Amino acid sequence: MENKTGEYTGKTKIFLELDERQYNMDEIGKKVKAAYKASHKEKLKDLKIYVKPEDGKAYYTANDGSISGSVDI
């Protein structure tokens, strides 16, 4: 899909493959956001996600690093 200027406008999906396993980065992002919403009432201002397959976890920091947590991947 392209817009009038010829730029790609379709969806992009990102996967990480490691040790014969595949991790869907979109799904991990959704899981992190859901975990944040379930445990924090404060509005989400910014979010950084660090995927660490060897731990089976995605770690995150939010709101200028004042909040942190993790989810299983």
What digits encode the pLDDT tens for the residues 22-39? 999 999 999 999 999 999
Regions of the chain where pLDDT drops below 70: none
Mapped onto helix, strand or coil, the DSSP state of residue 26 is helix
Query: Considering the domain boundaries, does residue 3 fall inside one?
Result: no
* Closest CA relative to residue 48, chosen from 63, 31, 27: 63
**pTM, entire model:** 0.81
Query: Considering the domain boundaries, does residue 20 fall inside one?
Result: yes
Query: Considering the domain boundaries, does residue 4 fall inside one?
Result: no
End-to-end CA distance of the chain: 31
Strand partners, 62: 47, 67
Number of domains in the chain: 1
Confidence (pLDDT) at 6: 80
